[in-house]
Structure 1
Amino acid sequence: MEKLLLLMVVFAVCHAETKDMSGKVFVFPKEAITDYVKLLTEKSKFDAVTTCLRFQTDLDRNYSIFSLATQSRSNDYLIFKTNKDGIMMHVRNPNTVFQSMPLTPNVWHSLCSTWRSDDGTAQLWLDNQTSIIRYIAKGPIDGKPSTILGQEQDSYGGGFDVTQSFVGVITAVHMWDRIIASEEIKYYMMHRYFSPGNVYNWGSLDYEIVGDVRVAREHDVKWM
């Protein structure tokens, strides 16, 4: 039985490899707890974070946008769409909700987030809208990260809930271990040149696909 389970895991997981994902997207075609993408990095301590990504979904319920867990905290850095017109952001487990930032279904959204450990503050950029600065938590994110697209982690690398799974398309994922300049974020939003992420870089991405997630060409997906 143990050998059978091991074989199932081997077949379900695509071996990690570094790929240039420029012009490509991850497609999450269905609600499930078995389908996700795991992003890989050697970095294990963060005194500041910037993340950026683009996505499209037809969901009008809540769902996970970006989930980073460590062995000590399942929500060390989580971006989550709530049922209302808000985006919830967790850091080191505590959270805040950025209000009046609606994620319209069936529309492509560009989303960036920042957080700094020295004063615990965070900020969001959604398309052409900038949030206020909100306090979440002080102190570094410390520990080997489990970073997952498509699911929200309630435990390190697992604890998924199908009602929080992502269905749609994700692309252009970048993460930095610092707060990048607001001009760089604007360039990202405008699809202009910017310095790629030094934690996760869409142009040189280490990842594993688990379950039914596929890679597609960007121009094969309706771009709005």
Structure 2
Amino acid sequence: MAGNLTGKIFTFPVESDTAHVVLVPLPTQIKTLTAVTVCLRFFSDQTRAQSLFSFATPAHSNAFLLYKRVDSLYEINVYDNVVVFRAMEDIPNQWNSVCATWDSNTGIAQLWVNGKPSARKGVRRGFTISGEPSIILGQEQDSYGGTFDKTQCFEGMLTDVHMWNSVLSYPELALYMNQIPQAHDGNVINWKSLDFTTKGYVLVEDQVSGTVV
């Protein structure tokens, strides 16, 4: 399927090792990545760990992974090297806005949760992400395109998923956090022009007005 998902959400209503959404990147932007920004909003009552965004290549199941641990801990995983961000507070049963960035040139990765920036941490400086991507919402890929574990699955709702092949500036990230229209939407994954396939028990629903902050 393809289309503008403005005002829509993906709902993952049960814990499973099958339900997921496959995202197809825009065709001209994915040859090699030397920088990444991923932004999304999620709503969940889960306190366990869960995958928010899983980007794999044939050589690396964790080419770029955004993963929520427990107790306000998040991780960014680049080519199986993990940096952990602490005290990044999200709120259960409320929409939370999250952006993750990484720059190969400096190795710097950073996280934003509900407008609050993390410390800046180094990972995989000088590396590039290359290879045919497998981009999945709802599950964490332990192999290219599969090997899912339901204890790592996402359970809840996701919306406004965007990915760029650059690091957004602080003003641009603030626009996303505050839901102010940006000069450009994601040029790798664009919620307003999304090519996707749902697998298993996943629903595409209307977002309830006034619930996203």
Which interval holds the TM-score relative to the shorter structure? over 0.9
5+ unaligned residues in a row in structure 2: which ranges? none
- RMSD between aligned alpha carbons? 1.3
Question: Is structure 2 residue 178 aligned with structure 1 residue 190?
Answer: yes
In the TM superposition, what whole-angstrom CA distance separates every residue of 1:154-211 from its partner, at most 9, and x where no partner exists? 0000111010111100000000001122111101111101110000000000111111
In the alignment, the residues of structure 1 paired with residue 121 and residue 59 of structure 2 have an alpha-carbon distance, to the nearest angstrom, of 24
Q: 1:142 aligns with which of 107, 130, 133?
A: 130
Q: Which residue identity does 2:4 align to in structure 1?
A: D
User: Post-superposition shift, 1:37?
Assistant: 0.3
Contact 1:44 1:145 survives alignment (8 Å):
no
String of CA shifts for 1:72-120, please: whole Å, max 9, x gaps.
1111100111123210110111011001113322121000011011121
**Structure 1: runs of 5+ lacking an equivalent:** 1-16
Q: Identify the residue that residue 91 of structure 1 maps to in structure 2.
A: 78
**Partners of 1:197 and 1:102 in 2: how far apart?**
25
User: Partners in 2 of 1:127 and 1:133 — Cα distance?
Assistant: 17
SS in 1 for 2:60: coil
Partner Cα distance (1:212, 1:220) in 2: 24
- Report if the CA contact (8 A) 2:20-2:198 is conserved: yes
Number of equivalent positions: 208
In 1, the alpha carbon distance for the partners of 2:34 and 2:87 equals 28
User: Match of 1:219, SS?
Assistant: coil
In the TM superposition, 1:152-163 aligns within 5 A as 152-163=140-151
1:35 aligns with 2:19: yes
Checking the alignment, whether the CA contact within 8 Å between 2:95 and 2:211 is kept in structure 1 is no
Q: Which has the larger radius of gyration?
A: 1
Corresponding letter in the other structure for 1:209: T
Identify the structure with the greater helix proportion: 1
Once the two structures are superposed, the pairs formed by residues 1-224 of structure 1 within 5 Å of their partners are 17-41=1-25, 42=27, 43-138=30-125, 139-194=127-182, 195-219=184-208, 222-223=211-212
**Percent of pairs with identical residues:** 41
